[in-house]
């Protein structure tokens, strides 16, 4: 059993990280007052851009291709999110419908482009990111083996971004303003905050994070763009709600969901686990999120103004 946990842990963490960073992106957007159902589409865009960029350059620069791919995914994720921001902030559109449109545009356009490039619509990279064992730290009993062996560099990058984002949101002027836009935009506006600008920035950050999440999934786990994010973006959305719109909450939620999904994914090959029916493990994140919503219905932590277009005239 202990061995099994040691075996599963690296996979569970690898599965958690793309969810975590995407969920964190959603956190920025929703904390500023813009619902982001489009996380799935933004992630898919990151997957496509990441895989495409890497296939183009991995022959000539094998050492840096993966990192350039991740960077490109971040950039295009942010750019694509601009479409959502434009609709939600400038045009006062229905944020849910715009998010759905983002998902549909992403899946149509990326597969369209992928088909033009490869014919089949799948974009496969040759070499993903390699795992590294951190010296010294990996010598720590138990924890060393769980956390510091066979890790991806992206895992540490994402955890660093999480810590930085927490600092940004709760300890800086920028973070306070951003959160104010999601709680009471009119008050923020009267205090001199440019609500439109803050929301634009927040939505673009969410696009950058989701793009990074998608590309991370490609370089660590799947190695291939195949035209779907398979619900990862929605799982990240569930984690955002289950984590009650708090950075450390979503860390717990994504790890919880990531571990359950990993057990379900490997249960066919590991006899001990095949006794747990996969259906419970896979539906568990969504069921528990619904339960959490019911339980927290009296004291919801959701940003108060999320989903409402900001109308200056109503101040």
Toward other proteins, which CB reaches closer, 111 or 250? 111
CB of 48 to other proteins, least distance (A): 12
Tokens of 73: 């995914």
**Does 278 sit near other proteins (CB under 8 A)?**
yes
**Does 241 sit near other proteins (CB under 8 A)?**
yes
Q: Which long-range contacts (CB under 8 A, 24 or more apart) does 83-87 make?
A: 84/34, 84/36, 84/38, 84/203, 84/207, 85/34, 85/199, 85/200, 85/203, 85/204
> Would you give the end-to-end CA distance of the chain in angstroms?
60
Of the candidates 68, 80, 16, the one whose C-alpha atom is nearest the C-alpha of residue 44 is: 80
**Does 238 sit near other proteins (CB under 8 A)?**
yes
Alpha helices in the chain (DSSP H): 2-31, 39-57, 65-85, 95-118, 143-147, 153-171, 173-183, 185-190, 195-217, 232-242, 247-266, 278-295
**Does 297 sit near other proteins (CB under 8 A)?**
yes
**Does 101 sit near other proteins (CB under 8 A)?**
yes
Measure Cα distances from 85 to 45, 197, 198, 219, 246 in Å. 16, 10, 10, 28, 22
DSSP string, 205-222: HHHHHHHHHHHHHIIIII
**Does 286 sit near other proteins (CB under 8 A)?**
yes
Q: 111-120: string of b/e by CB count within 10 Å (b at 16+)?
A: beebeeeeee
DSSP string, 35-50: --TTHHHHHHHHHHHH
Tokens of 14: 């690898």
Q: Which of 139, 160, 290, 315 binds other proteins (CB under 8 A)?
A: 290
Q: Which of 112, 160, 170, 248 binds other proteins (CB under 8 A)?
A: 112
Of the candidates 230, 229, 244, the one whose C-alpha atom is nearest the C-alpha of residue 289 is: 244
CB of 292 to other proteins, least distance (A): 10
**Does 128 sit near other proteins (CB under 8 A)?**
no
Q: Which of 4, 108, 140, 187 binds other proteins (CB under 8 A)?
A: 108
CB of 98 to other proteins, least distance (A): 5
Contact set for other proteins, span 72-91 (CB under 8 A): 83, 87, 91
Q: Sort residue 227 into left (φ over 0), alpha (ψ -120 to 50) or beta.
A: left
Toward other proteins, which CB reaches closer, 35 or 81? 35
Toward other proteins, which CB reaches closer, 252 or 278? 278
How does DSSP classify residue 92? -
**Does 236 sit near other proteins (CB under 8 A)?**
no
**Does 274 sit near other proteins (CB under 8 A)?**
no
How does DSSP classify residue 88? I
CB of 158 to other proteins, least distance (A): 23
**Does 253 sit near other proteins (CB under 8 A)?**
no
- Looking at the DSSP bridge assignments, the partners of residue 225 are 123
CB of 133 to other proteins, least distance (A): 34
Toward other proteins, which CB reaches closer, 275 or 297? 297
CB of 21 to other proteins, least distance (A): 20
CB of 205 to other proteins, least distance (A): 21
CB of 111 to other proteins, least distance (A): 5
Contact set for other proteins, span 27-66 (CB under 8 A): 35, 37
- Give the binding site for other proteins (CB under 8 A): 35, 37, 83, 87, 91-94, 96-98, 100-105, 107-109, 111-113, 115-116, 121, 231, 234-235, 237-238, 241, 277-279, 282-283, 286-287, 289-290, 293-294, 297
């Amino acid at each position: 059993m202990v061995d099994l946990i040691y075996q599963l842990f690296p996979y569970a963490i690898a599965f958690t990280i793309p969810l975590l960073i995407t969920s964190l992106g959603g956190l920025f957007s929703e904390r500023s007052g813009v619902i982001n159902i489009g996380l799935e589409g933004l992630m898919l865009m990151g997957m496509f851009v990441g895989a495409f960029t890497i296939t183009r350059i991995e022959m000539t620069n094998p050492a840096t291709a993966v990192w350039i791919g991740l960077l490109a995914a971040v950039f295009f994720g942010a750019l694509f999110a601009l479409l959502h921001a434009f609709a939600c902030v400038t045009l006062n559109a229905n944020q849910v419908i715009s998010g759905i449109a983002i998902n549909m545009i992403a899946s149509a356009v990326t597969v369209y482009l992928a088909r033009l490039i490869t014919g089949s619509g799948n974009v496969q990279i040759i070499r993903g990111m390699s795992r590294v064992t951190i010296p010294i730290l990996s010598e720590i009993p138990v924890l060393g083996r769980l956390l510091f062996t066979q890790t991806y560099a992206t895992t540490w990058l994402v955890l660093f971004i999480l810590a930085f984002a927490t600092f940004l949101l709760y300890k800086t002027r920028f973070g306070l303003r951003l959160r104010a836009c999601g709680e009471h935009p009119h008050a923020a506006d009267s205090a001199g905050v440019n609500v439109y600008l803050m929301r634009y920035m927040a939505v673009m950050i969410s696009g950058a994070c989701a793009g990074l999440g998608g590309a991370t999934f490609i370089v660590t786990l799947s190695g291939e763009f195949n035209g779907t994010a398979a619900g990862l973006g929605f799982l990240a959305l569930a984690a955002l709600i289950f984590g009650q719109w708090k950075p450390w909450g979503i860390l717990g939620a994504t790890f919880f969901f990531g571990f359950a999904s990993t057990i379900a994914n490997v249960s066919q090959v590991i006899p001990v686990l095949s006794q747990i029916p996969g259906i419970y493990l896979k539906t568990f994140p969504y069921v528990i999120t619904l339960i959490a919503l019911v339980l927290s219905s009296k004291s919801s932590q959701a940003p108060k103004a999320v989903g409402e277009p900001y109308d200056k005239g109503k101040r």
